[in-house]
Amino acid sequence: MKQPWVCIILLNYNGYEDTIECLESLFKLEYKAFSLVVVDNNSTDSSLEKLTLWLEAQAAKTKTIIKVPFLKKVIYEEANGSLSEEKAWVTTIQVKENLGFAGGNNIGIAYAQRHFSPEYVWLLNNDTVVVPNSLSKLVQKAQEDLTLGRNIGIWGSKLLYYHKPDTIQAIGGKLNLTTFTTSHISEGLKDTPATEIEHPSQDYVVGASLFVSRKFLELVGLLSEEYFLYFEELDWAKRGLKAGFRLGYVPESKVYHKEGSSIGSSSTGKKKSDLADYHGIRSKIIFFRKFYPERTLQLYTILLGSVLLRLCRFQFKRAFRVLRLMCLIR
């Protein structure tokens, strides 16, 4: 029986070392019916050149599973969409500007749809390392759900902290409509049978590992590029829910996540970078005004509270940032 084809998409921004480590783990996957698309989001550290050199070295010693070139380099011209028709097991795409998480991944998804027509697309953060059976478990569960008629469009993996591999980062995400915040299910718990939740009640699949079906992409569409960072996966989940899709979780698919290395953010208590702070606030306002417009007054009350808190902490620049975004986004 022919195995469903999967296209794995990695988005790189100034993180070629993380991307290479991720690729090394992907080359060891048990499941072999896949191709790779690496999208470079206009890095400033010569990432693509270094990645290409490393990939070319791998080509000499890696047995490919399809009789096409190992590596193909593409310069994406957004103006005319010029992309060659030649297929490759690994494709690198150079984007001429940083399009953010949604924009960069959308280029990879569109390329995959056009060249490979995969049954599934796996969006994977470049600062992850996967275990050898992680993809086979995702495909197995997805095919099982399809056979049983479960209308699931996105599946998540069990995310574990890279630097604390016995500790869970997330098995799914929750949205709090009272505090207008998000949280990770099971975050900080030890990965033991006692803490296992087979079917978590999740509002979204955490974006470090998004395994998406072709049907979902056809009916719901690509990631919303209204967001540069954050809330993209919540937006996708909400649109999917409106189209009748549910979310899945595969605990046997383990992914170790370094978390926030390219944008200077972390959920482990460290202070967010200015970039992460700006887009966190901006994307929150866009998301809640889009899906919960009736809660705008409550949202802005909460945001004003954060302004006061920042002022009390003498974080004047960050306090002004919140006020400015509240006024700009309509």
Higher pLDDT, 282 or 90: 282
Q: What values do phi and psi take at 64, rounded to 5?
A: -75, 160
First to last CA, the chain: 52
Contacts of 80 (CB under 8 A, 6+ apart): none
pLDDT of residue 71: 64
177-191 pLDDT, tens digit each: 999 999 999 999 999
231-264 pLDDT, tens digit each: 999 999 999 999 999 999 999 999 999 975 555 5
Cα–Cα distance, 173 to 213 (Å, whole number): 19
Lookup: tokens for 281? 């606030």
Question: Contact at 8 Å (CB) between 291 and 236?
Answer: no
Annotated domain spans of the chain: 6-257, 274-328
Q: How confident is the model at residue 60 (pLDDT cuts 50, 70, 90)?
A: low
Lookup: tokens for 50? 């270094």
Lookup: tokens for 107? 């280029």
Instruction: Look at domain 6-257 and name its CATH class.
Output: alpha beta
Q: In terms of DSSP bridges, do strands 90-94 and 34-40 run parallel, antiparallel, or are they unpaired?
A: parallel
Q: How confident is the model at residue 70 (pLDDT cuts 50, 70, 90)?
A: low
Question: Contact at 8 Å (CB) between 182 and 238?
Answer: no
Query: Which of 5, 68, 8, 67 minimizes the C-alpha distance to 33?
Result: 5
Percent of the chain scored above 70 by pLDDT?
Answer: 87
- For residue 111, pLDDT over 80 is answered with yes
Lookup: tokens for 245? 């899709």
pLDDT of residue 68: 39
Q: 73 pairs with which residues across the strands?
A: 92
Question: Contact at 8 Å (CB) between 47 and 127?
Answer: no
CA atoms within 13 A on the CB side of 233: 27
80-97 pLDDT, tens digit each: 444 444 566 889 999 999
